[in-house]
Structure 1
Amino acid sequence: MANHPVPASGPAPHPHPQPHPTIHPKGLFKAFAASLTGTALEWYDFAVYSAAAAVVFPIVFFPASDPLTGTILAFSTYAVGYVSRPVGGIIFGRLGDRIGRKKVLVTTLMIIGVATVLIGVLPGYASIGIVAPIILVLLRFAQGVGVGGEWGGAVLLSSEYGDPHRRGFWASAAQVGPPAGNLLANGALAVLTLALTEEQFLSFGWRIAFLVSALLVAFGLWIRLRLEDTPVFKAIQAHGEQPHAPIQEVFRKELRPLIAAILCRVGPDVLYALFTVFTLTYGIQVLGYERNQVLTAVLVGSAFQLFMIPLAGAVSDRFNRRLVYGVGAVVGAVWTFVFFGILGGNNQPMLIIGIVLGLMAHSFMYGPQAAFIVEQFSPRLRSTGSSLAYTFAGVIGGAIAPLMFTLLLSQFGTWIPVAIYVAVAAAVTLVGLALGRDNDTVEDLDYRLLLEGTGAATQPSGAAESK
């Protein structure tokens, strides 16, 4: 029978109680770990690349220019990683709906890992001249492409293996990646800084930080290659319902869910950029803190997030997910004003408390975020829709936020416009939540029950027409 996507305004009614499909705990925990390792690698690279772009790359890859220009050029290679993400989202999001979540995730992890390791062994300008920075830009572009395709598949891997009634918790695996990656990267950089002289670090120590990522890649591949594809995709594949043109279908049939998913990401991305990136600049240059003091506060906040993000995802399973997400957005916006207001003076305990509470508010958006975005799209188009939303929102949210904060502070000389910017971003998120829909577990249960041979329908109720 012909079916259509569930409308964005709410789940389709299902008059008969659904039996529960079999949940295999071993595969579920493997999927959780496989999802976490990929995003942890992404954010490990994010932190290591940031440190190298500021300190090492202007010397190693751009020595022909003056120091300031070299730094700008180094950070431009960093920006390339953001610009290329939508390319990865388009390519691999589409493939995730066409050939499967697992195959895409193996490919994206290989791309990210190989590019990161190659940066670690790339000869400098002194050895191969202008070819060195050109290759660096290309490798950074490849990293961005891999990252753009990684998130959507990682979220689906963990969420579609688990009970859809607990999707908030299981989908949060990918969301734990940023704090985990930040902690791993800063731990590696701290060990190298203590073990090596500055000259040794500039000579070869920074390369070790990139090469260490091979361990994360190997672990992630070991898990992902041992997993089967998700039960939901296997059912879609078994019934021949893969979309032929998933990007076109998303824009034609599920444009409202795509807009909702993009907008809901803006607030969390901006808030995270404030408390993990901008506070370093503001705390050091404006308030006079030592770099280690601010960095310690950020790391303490990241450590709290390792537990707060899954907790927030679990809470959103017990209560309305949009409500939990919305409360986090409002609290984050309000706390930003409070944070700047109480931050005067060299008071590190207050700085730590302020950043920890700010990142806790972020957790109550970020924890439910993956599940909320996945739930906006019909199962056939989830990989494409989720990947497009993630990559496009990253460009308009997190990518430009640090620059906007810096420009506002330099233009007005006060933190108030910065806090207003965060409040506007939170308002954008609330609009996205209002446009979105609540969880519909029937879509996943139908597919999984059909795969197990216990479904009575000939085609799942949430499936879109594929022909």
Structure 2
Amino acid sequence: MTVTGQTAGTGEPVDGRSLRRAFLASLSGTALEWYDFAAYSVAAATLFGTLFFPSGDELAGTMAAFSTYAVGYLARPLGGFVFGRLGDRLGRKRVLVLTLLLTGTATFLIGVLPTYGSIGGFAAVLLVLLRFAQGVGIGGEWGGAVLLSSEFGDPRRRGFWASAAQIGPPAGNLLANGVLGVLALALTEAQFNSWGWRVAFLLSGVLVGFGLWIRLKLEETPVFQRLAAQGDRSSAPISEVFRLEWRALLAAIFVRVCPDVLYALFTVFVLTYMTSELKMPRGEGLAAVMIGSALQLVLMPAAGALSDRVNRRKLYLIGTIAAGVWPFVFFPMVSGGSFAAVLVGVVLALVIHALLYGPQAALVTEQFSERLRYTGSSLAYTLAGVIGGALAPLLFTALLAGFGSWVAIALYLAVTAVVSLVGVWLARDPEDQLVS
């Protein structure tokens, strides 16, 4: 039996194969790009401070490594501006092939990059440039990946279909942490620090090939095909978003800030906190993050589907409040250095993140009109990344060093929760765009 669904804005039935292929294309591409990003994040938290930014001060090396982590976020708006505009002008599929190639190539080149010990400070310059390219690619990826799946699906199930792109980060994070964890266990510390970490980055070449195979087989979304046939494509989508849909842009930016900071805290900085403050083995932190990420693979589409049945804004409101409160529970709970406590704390934090991140794609994209969706969603995603995720690890490290306490970190996350609550208030309900 062939499963069909109604495509957003067309009223035409779409066969189940196209729906499943669009879902897989969205998921596989974002998983690959977040594998690349997560591999760098873990390496920045544990290795790159020594390999590319050596100094006598461990804190200074970590801060420098996290600075290049931030570069990836700071580069995203450029990707959002360039590829978002192209996505609304040329189509979703073409742009997503370009973003996949850009991010995958940059990650592969990091795997063969000489370190400070070989070419001195020029190694750090090259690392920053490649990290910048990663960020540009991901900046153009997210908006298109969300539309790729959601514009093939029934708008009444937009939360579920759009969640395909949201599964990418935990899938990529799980894969990256798994590869690095296996390498760390299989190799001596000297071997891992010398060449073992490179394997994780070189594997991106295989993943790029698979992602391209999936995306090249997919047709353009029916929504964009209709817009093109009607000649209803914006000639200046960026300026139109800022002029005509500025409230939607603000709402979409604000709702993303808290989840980004929450994710950075419990997948990146938590590794540094465990090793430096709690004196726990690096492998235990990686294990906790991997288990939480594995659960997110199921929880994110479930949360997206739940948001199709209950009010999406109210569900997001509950998740945001939980995110703002959780650090005040987590840090006292793990103060004794117990792996069980860290595991429970990280997993529950990522459950809260899934409650937010699963419906987030639908909540963001439905703020914008069809003809400006790629541009508006990409700008919101990338600009929020600069405000939230880009600076988070740096600020976490600086706050801990400056105040010597986790309280400042928890307060910082609470402030971002307030920002996202304002975004929920500004956002319109999904029912306002049910047929588009």
TM over 0.5: yes
Q: What is the CA deviation profile of residues 365-419 of structure 1, one whole-angstrom value per residue up to 9, with x for unaligned ones? A: 1111000000000000000000000000001111112222233333333333322
Change (3 A) 1:335 1:137: closer
Comparing 270-279 with 341-350, which one deviates more in the overlay?
341-350
The runs of 5 or more residues in structure 1 that have no matched partner are 1-17, 446-467
- Counterpart of 1:103 (choices 94, 104, 129) is 94
Q: Which residue of 1 aligns with 2:327?
A: 336
- Alignment partner for residue 271 of structure 1, among 262, 275, 284? 262
Partner amino acid for 1:29?
A: R
Partner of 1:346: 337
Out of 286, 289, 292, the residue aligned to residue 280 of structure 2 is: 289
User: How many angstroms does 1:181 deviate by?
Assistant: 1.0
Measured after TM superposition, the shift of residue 108 of structure 1 is 0.3
Q: How does 1:213-224 map to 2 (within 5 A)?
A: 213-224=204-215
Aligned to 2:388: 397
Amino acid paired to 2:145: A
The CA deviation at 1:129 is 6.0
Q: 1:145 aligns with which of 118, 131, 136?
A: 136
- Is 1:319 aligned to residue 313 of structure 2? no
Report the identity percentage: 62
1:191 aligns to what? 182
How far apart are 1:303 and its partner, in Å? 1.2
Cα distance in 1 for residues equivalent to 2:166 and 2:249: 19
Q: Separation in 2 of the partners of 1:213 and 1:137?
A: 18
CA contact (8 A) 1:375 1:440 kept: no
Q: Which whole-Å deviations, capped at 9, do the CAs of 1:23-80 have from their partners, x for residues lacking one?
A: 22111111111111222122212222234345554565557x6675665554433332
Amino acid at match of 2:180: L
Measure how far apart 1:211 and its partner are: 1.0
Structure 2 distance, partners of 1:284, 1:361, is: 24
**Mapped pair 1:174 → 2:165:** yes
Partner of residue 239, structure 1:
230
Paired residue for 1:416? Answer: 407
2:292 counterpart of 1:301: yes
- What's 1:435 paired with? 426
The code of the aligned residue for 1:100 comes to G
Of 372-381 and 181-190, more deviation after overlay is shown by 181-190
Amino acid at match of 2:300: I
The number of aligned residues is 427
Deviation of 1:244 after TM superposition, in Å, equals: 0.3
Pair member with larger Rg: 1
Query: Equivalent of 1:117, from 104, 108, 117?
Result: 108
In structure 2, C-alpha distance between the alignment counterparts of 1:318 and 1:443, rounded to whole Å: 13
Q: Determine the structure 2 residue equivalent to 1:459.
A: none
Q: Distance in 1 between matches of 2:281 and 2:129?
A: 35
Q: Deviations over 1:196-234 (max 9, x none)?
A: 333433343222211101122111110100001111111
The one-letter code of the counterpart of 1:137 is V
Contact 2:116 2:122 survives alignment (8 Å): yes
1:386 maps to a residue whose letter is S
Question: How far did 1:242 drift?
Answer: 0.6
TM-superposed deviation, 1:277: 2.4
Quote the offset at 1:132 in angstroms. 4.1
What is the aligned partner in structure 1 of residue 369 from structure 2? 378
Match of 2:359 among 341, 360, 368: 368
Using the alignment, how far apart are the partners of 2:294 and 2:22 within structure 1?
22
Task: Evaluate the alpha carbon distance shift between residue 401 and residue 76 of structure 1 in structure 2; reply closer, same or farther with a 3 A threshold.
Answer: closer
Cα distance in 1, alignment partners of residues 296 and 423 from structure 2 = 24
Deviations 1:298-355 (A, max 9, x none): 2211111111111100000001100111111112222332223433323322322222
SS in 2 for 1:23: strand
Q: How far did residue 128 of structure 1 move?
A: 5.7
In 2 relative to 1, CA 356–133 (structure 1 residues): closer, same or farther, beyond 3 Å? closer
Q: Secondary structure at the match of 1:156?
A: helix
State how far apart, in whole Å, the 2-side matches of 1:95 and 1:22 are.
27
Stretch moving more, 320-329 or 338-347: 338-347
Helix, strand or coil for the counterpart of 2:219? coil
Does residue 43 (structure 1) correspond to residue 42 (structure 2)? The answer is no
Distance, in Å, in 2 between the alignment partners of 1:427 and 1:20 is 39
AA aligned to 2:422 is: V
What SS does structure 2 have at the residue aligned with 1:121? coil
Rounded to whole Å, the distance in 1 between the matches of 2:109 and 2:11 is 46
Cα distance change of structure 1 residues 441 and 230 upon mapping to structure 2, 3 Å threshold: farther
- Which letter does structure 2 place at the counterpart of 1:193? A
Superposed CA RMSD in Å reads 2.3
Distance in 1, matches of 2:227 and 2:284, equals: 51
